[in-house]
Amino acid sequence: MKAIRYHGPKDCRYEEVPDPKPGPDDVVIRVRAAGICATDIEVYDGVMFYFTENMTRVPIIPGHEWAGDVVEVGKNVGGFKVGDKVTGECSVGCRQCDYCKRGWYNQCPHRTETGLLNRDGGFAEYIVMPRFNCYKCNGMTYEAAATIEPTGIALYPTKVAGVCAQDNVAVIGDGPIGLYMVQTAKAYGARQVVLIGSREERLAVGRQLGADQALRYRDADVVKQVRDATGGHGVDVVLEGVGKPSVWPIIAGIIAPRGRVMMTGLFAGKTCDVLFDPLVVNNVTIHGTVGGPNCWAECIDLHERGLVKASPIVTHRLPLAEFEKGVEMSRQRTDGAIKVMLLP
């Protein structure tokens, strides 16, 4: 089969590799769509943490947002048949450690991660996955199904924060994760969702997807605008999806007493100046979240019910061989690119 394989920084080759073979508990899938995300850009550049710390084997096939059709199943596999449309998780736990037994397989010390940590990913014609980490999505398009992973990244902090109808929610970041956070917060009944971003064309998509307010980071009075939009109360939940130290003054200025701050962005080693006294006095909770454990079935349901949509977010499509072009389009946001999808 043809695949993109990472051999080193800025050395990703479109080359022939052996077709994957299923183990007794595995499913082989013909990949039909695979999305490029910011992590894939870090992989291409060779700066992603797993690669700089030599935690993952190289060469490796990247790609952790994908969907396709089942073409072969292992001898122990039930519940899947040839022709099923499926997608699969990024984090694959050992299923035996205490973390896995508690449902925290995204923290499994023995885990692999699709396309990132010692497991080949979806930038290929075929991928093999354990049946335990595959989900049927026959009611979705391939492109929408390939975005279940970023949908899970957005849904997980929404669930952990306990977003409800009483909450004013701020989403910081207008990339794909932020745009899915807008939708998951609305699906959970948030009183009001305020999207804070940097690009007017993406803020416009956020409004299309349900944001009640869409504001620019760079506005000098963005904190006042959020306060005014919430009647001076501030927001009860911040869903952060940027990973930049510059978000902290905004968060500190808009979070309400007893608020919950959900951090999902990775800061690439950069530190933030945080004044903790008001956070302590106001009983503010700061919570980090990684991945979307135990969210995938619900994400699929939200898409199939129309409560979450991929169509305004998936903006560009390229053949697999044009992976490097897709990386640069995503990096430069060429022609308004939000999510670039590779079609193997």
Whether this prediction's pTM lies above 0.75 is answered by: yes
Q: Are 171 and 183 in contact (CB under 8 A)?
A: no
On the question of pLDDT at 272 being above 90, the answer is: no
Digit-coded pLDDT (tens) for 290-317: 999 999 999 999 999 999 999 999 999 9
- pLDDT band at residue 57, thresholds of 50, 70 and 90? very high
Q: pLDDT band at residue 244, thresholds of 50, 70 and 90?
A: confident
pLDDT tier for residue 18 given thresholds of 50, 70 and 90 = very high
Measured distance CA(292)–CA(112) in Å, rounded: 15
The pLDDT, as a whole number, for residue 126 is: 98
User: Of all residues in the chain, what percent carry a pLDDT higher than 90?
Assistant: 93
Tell me the backbone φ, ψ of residue 124, rounded to 5 degrees.
Answer: -160, 170
Task: For 171-218, write each residue's pLDDT tens digit.
Answer: 999 999 999 999 999 999 999 999 999 999 999 999 999 999 999 988
Residue 269, pLDDT above cutoff 80: no
Domains delineated in the chain? 2-147+310-343 (3.90.180.10), 154-288 (3.40.50.720)
Instruction: Check pLDDT > 90 for residue 267.
Output: no
Quick: pLDDT tens for 119-136. 999 999 999 999 999 999
Placement of tokens 């640069």 in the chain: 328
| % pLDDT > 70, the chain | 100
Angle, helix 176-187 to helix 148-161, in steps of 10 degrees: 50
**What pLDDT, on the 0 to 100 scale, is given for residue 271?**
85
